[in-house]
Amino acid sequence: MTEIDTQDNGEIQEGTDYDVVVVGAGFSGLYMLHRLRDELGLSVKVVEKADDVGGTWYWNRYPGARCDSESHIYCYSFNDEILEEWEWSERYPEQPEVLEYLQFVADELDLRKDIDFETEVTSAAFDEEAGTWTVSTDDGDAVTSQYFVTAVGCLSEPYVPDFEALDDFEGEMYHTGKWPHDPVDFDDKRVAVIGTGATGIQVIPEVAKEDVERLTVFQRTPNYAVPARHRPLTDEEWESIQANYDEILEKAHNSGFGMPFETGYETAADLTMEEVEEALEPRWQEGGFRFLLAFEDLLINEETNEKVSEYLRNKIRETVDDPDLAEKLAPEDHYYGTKRPPLHTDYYKTYNEDHVSLVDVTEDPIERFTPEGIQTADDHYEFDMIILATGFDAMTGTLLQMDIRGRDGLTLDEKWNDGPQTYLGLALYGFPNMFTITGPQSPSVLSNMPVAIEHHVEWVSDTIEYLVDNDVKLIEATRAAERAWTTHNREVAEQTLYTTADSWYMNENIPDKPTVFTPYPGGIDLYHNTILEVAEKGYEGFELTEAVTDLGREGDKPQLSVMEGD
């Protein structure tokens, strides 16, 4: 931000540079800007560290980067013109197409003029005297606002493991989450990929198809991947989607996972393996996330899950020619779906290629990087290129990077020392007038995310509208409400199989992070009703403080409603 464009529309409070500062210009930040600026008439500044909109789809440009959500539901639903004008070309859009979509939305809604690109928020501090936020950026500037909204994404802080002598490697090294914008040349190169999560599973078959000399995959934990059955959308399919779009999107918004697909059977617990195969086969052939919904109790019933997991292991055994390799690729350490279930195109088949090999690092651990490649316990591997598909400091990583400070200078880092504590995944005790779009303890990553994002953005803008209309100066989650939500999140998670896996959902991918289930697992439909009900009840669980110009200098502030305790 080279110049502070002070606006004084008197909507909320005179004296701040903006009514709202939003961080991030992905799916969340773009819609947040539109709602606040175009529907509420507020002055809004979006700060984005990339040089364009797109978020995830700006950064993750690795070969094979493609959406696992089907295109017709991986989009905004709030604007009929955008829905009519934009036509998806494929069942699952590739990264460039999603990026193009978000650029199209930004242009249609004229959003760019209120976004400061190539600017990183380095700190955000709540000023108790003024009742405002001061948001500082890496160019040395700072702006003030009444509200502070984070739209920084759940998977936007790439994670590079602390491999010994990482910097010694003299070849090319790329993290998939920060892939170069210029084309990467693979010709005749010896390439390593570390990581077999959703990203590794997409990038490995694509790199194998390049003219590489050899590809070596370093796997710590195998994953269960279901075929995507990717294909272009036909005109007939697109016409049918258009004709039924309202119904499809309504169904997605009222479902547990933000997807309009039917669940199949209640349980597999009382079915024979043959019956389970019969039930799963059509969904396997259809491909995609419909497979996940075959049995309603998949994520709460070990018996059901074990049968589905065995079905998937058998599919891997059928596909991979070398039986020993097939066993290495077949997960035994976690239940299907307890780690984010990836989709794949030709992933397992790729291991039948002569130039592709696997190093199981549980048997032969990576000891250190060397100038020429990677030294494991048993071998030294020489590479020209190493691709780190090692994931993200998910859910809280990006928020914690920002040095956010609430009342009494409390840092988010201190507050979340034992894991995230929030109210509804949207707000925090001690951090008034701050909202977290798809924050931890909201459904976010357990759903088709544009649906979760729209629910949050609409709730936040409706809330700010309510506060403005009712002359409320400050909104803050109560400590009791936050504790209750954090306990509820944990208790719901403990009823599922999610907590049995060492996943990034559980913070387990990052050393020293507290082991705790980070998203809200109760379903997006139930969750959405909960946040709407909280609002209907006059913001139950929040403390609302009436507008005063000299806040912080008065004694007792009038309380519009104090819901629970402290």
What residues line the site for ligand FAD (CB under 6 A)? Answer: 23-29, 47-50, 55-56, 58, 60, 65, 67-69, 74, 120-121, 151-153, 155-156, 199, 398, 402, 438, 448-449, 453
The residue to which tokens 């079915």 are assigned: 271
For residue 453, the partner it binds in ligand FAD, ligand NAP, none, with Cβ less than 5 to 8 A by kind, is: ligand FAD
Residue among 131 and 197 whose Cβ is closer to ligand NAP? 197
The closest residue (CB) to ligand NAP is 197
Residue 161 contacts which entry, ligand FAD, ligand NAP, none (Cβ below 5-8 A, type-dependent): ligand NAP
Q: How far is the CB of 218 from ligand NAP (least distance, A)?
A: 6
Minimum Å gap between C-beta 389 and ligand NAP is 6
Cβ(143)–Cβ(135) under 8 Å?
A: yes
Contact partner at residue 509 from ligand NAP, ligand FAD, none, CB < 5 to 8 Å by partner kind: ligand NAP
Residue 553 CB neighbour total at 10 angstroms: 9
69-101 as b/e: b if 16+ CB within 10 A: bbbbbbbbbbbeebbeebebeebbbbbebbbeb
Cross-strand partners of 133: 126, 145
Closest approach of Cβ 32 to ligand FAD, in Å? 9
- Cβ proximity to ligand FAD: between 436 and 478 the closer is 436
Q: Which does 449 bind (CB under 5 to 8 A by kind): ligand FAD, ligand NAP, none?
A: ligand FAD
Closest CB to ligand FAD among residues 288, 432: 288
Of 248 and 329, the one with the shorter C-beta distance to ligand NAP is 329
- Least CB distance to ligand FAD at residue 151 (A): 5
Q: Rounded distance, CA 143 to CA 56, Å? A: 26
Residue 197: contacted member of ligand FAD, ligand NAP, none (CB under 5 to 8 Å, by partner type): ligand NAP
CB 208 within 8 A of CB 410: no
Shortest Cβ 176–ligand NAP spacing (Å) = 6
* Closer to ligand FAD by Cβ: residue 25 or 474: 25
415 binds, among ligand FAD, ligand NAP, none (CB under 5 to 8 A by kind): none
Closest Cα partner for 42 from 147, 135, 150?
A: 147
409 CB burial (10 A radius; 0-12, 13-18, 19+): exposed
Nearest-angstrom CA–CA distance, 427 and 482: 8
Sheet holding 366-369, edge to edge: 366-369, 373-376, 380-382
Closest to ligand NAP by CB, 62 vs 539, is 62
The answer to whether 482 and 421 have CB atoms below 8 angstroms apart is: yes
3-state secondary structure 103-135: HHHHHHCCCHHHEECCCCEEEEEEECCCCEEEE
3-class secondary-structure state, position 81: helix
Nearer CB in complex with ligand FAD: 51/80:
51
Nearest residue to 238 (alpha-carbon basis) of 102, 88, 43, 388? 88
Nearer residue to ligand NAP within complex by CB, 190 or 220: 220
Tell me the closest approach of the beta carbon of residue 290 to ligand NAP, in angstroms.
15
**Distance set, CA 326 to CA 218, 308, 332, 348 (Å):** 15, 17, 12, 9
Q: Residue 28 Cβ, how far from ligand FAD at the closest point, in Å?
A: 3
SS (H, E, C) 398-423: HHHHCCEECHHHCEHHHHCCCCCCCE
Residues that bind ligand NAP in the complex, under the rule CB under 6 A: 66-68, 155, 161, 194-200, 202, 218, 220-221, 340, 361, 366, 389-392, 445, 504, 509
Residue placing its CB nearer to ligand NAP in the complex, 271 or 510:
510
Contact partner at residue 27 from ligand NAP, ligand FAD, none, CB < 5 to 8 Å by partner kind:
ligand FAD
Kindly state the smallest distance separating residue 551's Cβ from ligand NAP, in Å: 41
CB of 259 to ligand NAP, least distance (A): 12
Nearest one of 325, 385, 383 to 349, comparing CA atoms: 325
